C-alpha cells in the first residue's frame, strides 16, 4: 500500500470513529424519556401505580414529583461514544505526523510520554524517538519543553559545557581579544530551552550569556521566547572584547552555569591561560603564494552605485568562487576551512586612505559593517549631482592584505592567508562588469 493510500485509509478511520462516537453520544444522551411515566431515578421502576415518592423496588425516596419524570440516559453509551471520539481524534493526530521524511511508528506515542522517554544524550541524535521529539518541538507546550531541558542539563557533561567557551590560547600582541560563549545547538538531539551563563571569578567583571531554545523552529533572539528564568536586568551579550594585553601569560578564572527550567542547573569552574606574544608564527601559520593570491584577487567583487542620490560602494568576496577555487578540495563539514581568509581592505588615493574596513570570507562583510565611506564620498563624489567623479575613480587603488588579528578571532584554524593584493579600482569594476555580462548571457 502506498503512503498516500495509507494516509487516506487512516483519515477514513478517523472520520468513521469520530462520527460514530458523536452519534453514539447523541443517542445515549437522548436516552429513554419518561413520556409522562413516574419512575424511580435509581432503578427506573415504573411507579405509575404507586403513591408517594418511595420506590417499592429499591427503596430510594425521590426529592419531589419532578424527580420522578427524569430522562433515563445511557451512561455506558456516553462513555463508549466519548472513547470513540477520543480514539478517532488521536488517530487523526497521529496520521498528521505521517509523510515523507516524517515519523513512522513513533507517531502513535503521545508527546507527553515522548518527552520522558526520548534519549537526550548526544550519541543518540539519530534515534527515532529523539528525531520524533525534535520534529514536534514547534507544537510542544512550554512545560513539555521544560522537561526536555531538565533532562538535557542532567545529561550534559562538564567537558561539553567547558567546550562552549571559545577563546584562543595564544594571542597576538597589540590586538583586542574576543571571548565568546558559543553553545553547539546542533549537538543536542532535542534542544529544550536552556541558558548558559559565564562569569569571571577573578575580578575582571566578565559576564556572558547565551539562551538556547528550540532553534529549528524559533529564533533564540526572540524576546517572547526567552526562558522564563531570566532576570529583568539588561540583556547580556554572548561575546566580549578584551583590550590588548601586555606580552606574557594571563590567567582567566571563569564559572560556567548551564540552567534549565524549575531551578535545574549545573556549574563548572574553569581557568584559561592565554599567552600574548609578538611572534606571529606562534599564533597562526602564515600562508601565501602567487597562485593563492591570484585566486583571491579573482574572487574580489564590487558593487558601486550612485542611483537615487544614494552613493554606495561595496567590496566583498564572491563566496562561491572562493569556496570552489580555494577550499572545496580540503573542506571538512562543521569546520572553518584553512587558510583563514581574513583581510583589511583599503581604498587609497596616492598615500591617502579614503576607506578602510575589515573583511572576512565566512561572514562576507567582516567586523566593520556598514563601512565608513564618508572620506571616499567627500573625495570622489560631486556634491551637486551626487555622481562619482570619473577622474577620481580612475586614480584610486584597492589594497587587500591578510590580517592576523582578524584571522585569530576564529578559534579553530591554525593558518591564515598573509598575502597582499593591489589593483586599480577601475580594473576591478571592469572585471566585475564583464563577469556580470557573461552570467547574464548564460
- pLDDT computed for residue 427 by the predictor: 92
- pLDDT computed for residue 219 by the predictor: 30
What's the order of all strands across the beta sheet hosting 420-424? 352-360, 342-349, 397-402, 420-424
- pLDDT computed for residue 100 by the predictor: 56
Q: What is this structure's pTM? A: 0.67
Q: What Å distances lie between residue 64 and 50, 52, 74, 384, CA to CA?
A: 14, 9, 23, 99
Q: What Å distances lie between residue 189 and 7, 8, 94, 382, CA to CA?
A: 27, 31, 21, 58
The backbone region for 309, taken as left when phi is positive above 0, alpha when psi lies in -120 to 50, beta otherwise, is left
- pLDDT computed for residue 6 by the predictor: 76
Domain ranges of the chain: 3-110, 158-279, 284-441
Task: Flag residues of the chain having pLDDT under 70.
Answer: 1-3, 99-101, 122-125, 185-191, 213-236, 306-312, 333-334, 362-370
- The DSSP secondary structure of 68-83, one letter per residue, reads GG--B--HHHHHHHHH
Q: What whole-number distance in Å separates Cα of residue 193 and Cα of residue 199?
A: 20
DSSP state of 257: E
Per residue in 53-99, pLDDT tens?
Answer: 888 888 888 888 888 888 888 889 999 999 999 999 888 877 777 76
Contact partners, residue 418, CB within 8 Å, separation at least 6: 286, 287, 288, 402, 404
Per residue in 247-258, pLDDT tens?
Answer: 999 999 999 999
Q: Name the CATH architecture for the domain at 158-279.
A: Sandwich (2.60)
Amino acid at each position: 500500500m502506498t503512503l498516500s493510500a495509507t494516509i487516506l485509509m487512516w483519515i477514513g478511520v478517523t472520520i468513521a470513529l469520530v462520527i460514530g462516537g458523536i452519534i453514539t453520544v447523541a443517542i445515549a444522551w437522548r436516552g429513554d424519556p419518561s413520556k409522562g411515566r413516574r419512575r424511580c431515578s435509581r432503578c427506573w421502576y415504573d411507579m405509575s401505580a404507586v403513591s408517594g415518592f418511595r420506590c417499592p423496588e429499591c427503596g430510594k425516596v425521590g426529592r419531589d414529583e419532578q424527580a420522578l419524570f427524569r430522562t433515563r440516559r445511557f451512561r455506558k453509551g456516553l462513555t463508549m461514544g466519548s472513547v470513540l471520539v477520543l480514539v478517532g481524534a488521536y488517530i487523526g493526530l497521529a496520521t498528521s505526523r505521517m509523510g515523507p521524511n516524517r515519523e513512522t511508528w513513533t507517531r502513535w506515542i503521545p508527546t507527553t510520554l515522548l518527552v520522558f522517554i526520548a534519549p537526550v544524550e548526544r550519541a543518540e541524535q539519530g534515534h527515532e524517538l529523539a528525531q520524533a521529539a525534535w520534529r514536534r518541538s514547534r507544537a510542544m507546550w512550554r512545560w513539555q519543553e521544560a522537561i526536555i531541558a531538565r533532562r538535557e542539563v542532567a545529561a550534559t557533561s562538564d567537558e561539553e559545557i567547558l567546550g562552549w567557551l571559545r577563546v584562543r590560547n595564544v594571542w597576538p600582541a597589540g590586538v583586542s581579544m574576543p571571548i565568546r560563549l558559543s553553545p553547539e545547538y546542533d549537538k543536542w538531539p532535542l534542544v529544550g530551552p536552556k541558558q548558559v551563563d559565564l562569569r569571571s571569578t577573578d575580578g575582571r567583571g566578565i559576564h556572558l550569556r547565551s539562551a538556547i531554545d528550540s532553534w529549528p523552529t524559533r529564533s533564540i533572539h526572540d524576546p517572547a521566547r526567552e526562558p522564563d528564568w531570566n532576570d529583568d536586568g539588561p540583556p547580556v551579550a554572548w561575546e566580549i572584547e578584551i583590550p590588548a594585553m601586555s606580552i606574557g601569560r594571563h590567567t582567566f578564572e571563569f564559572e560556567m552555569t548551564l540552567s534549565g527550567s524549575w531551578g535545574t542547573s549545573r556549574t563548572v569552574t574553569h581557568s584559561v591561560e592565554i599567552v600574548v606574544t609578538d611572534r606571529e608564527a606562534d599564533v597562526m601559520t602564515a600562508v601565501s603564494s602567487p597562485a593563492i593570491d591570484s585566486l583571491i584577487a579573482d574572487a574580489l567583487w564590487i558593487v558601486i552605485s550612485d542611483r537615487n542620490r544614494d552613493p554606495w560602494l561595496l567590496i566583498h568576496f564572491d563566496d562561491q568562487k572562493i569556496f570552489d577555487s580555494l577550499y572545496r578540495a580540503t573542506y571538512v563539514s562543521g569546520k572553518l576551512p584553512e587558510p583563514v581568509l581574513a583581510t583589511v581592505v583599503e581604498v587609497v588615493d596616492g598615500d591617502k586612505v579614503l576607506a578602510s574596513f575589515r573583511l572576512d570570507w565566512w561572514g562576507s562583510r567582516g567586523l566593520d559593517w556598514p563601512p565608513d565611506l564618508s572620506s571616499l564620498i567627500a573625495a570622489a563624489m560631486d556634491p551637486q549631482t551626487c555622481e562619482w567623479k570619473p577622474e577620481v575613480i580612475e586614480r584610486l587603488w584597492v589594497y587587500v592584505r591578510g590580517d592576523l588579528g582578524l584571522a585569530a578571532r576564529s578559534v579553530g584554524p591554525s593558518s591564515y592567508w598573509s598575502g597582499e593584493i593591489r589593483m586599480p579600482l577601475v580594473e576591478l569594476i571592469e572585471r566585475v562588469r564583464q563577469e556580470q555580462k557573461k552570467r547574464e548571457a548564460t
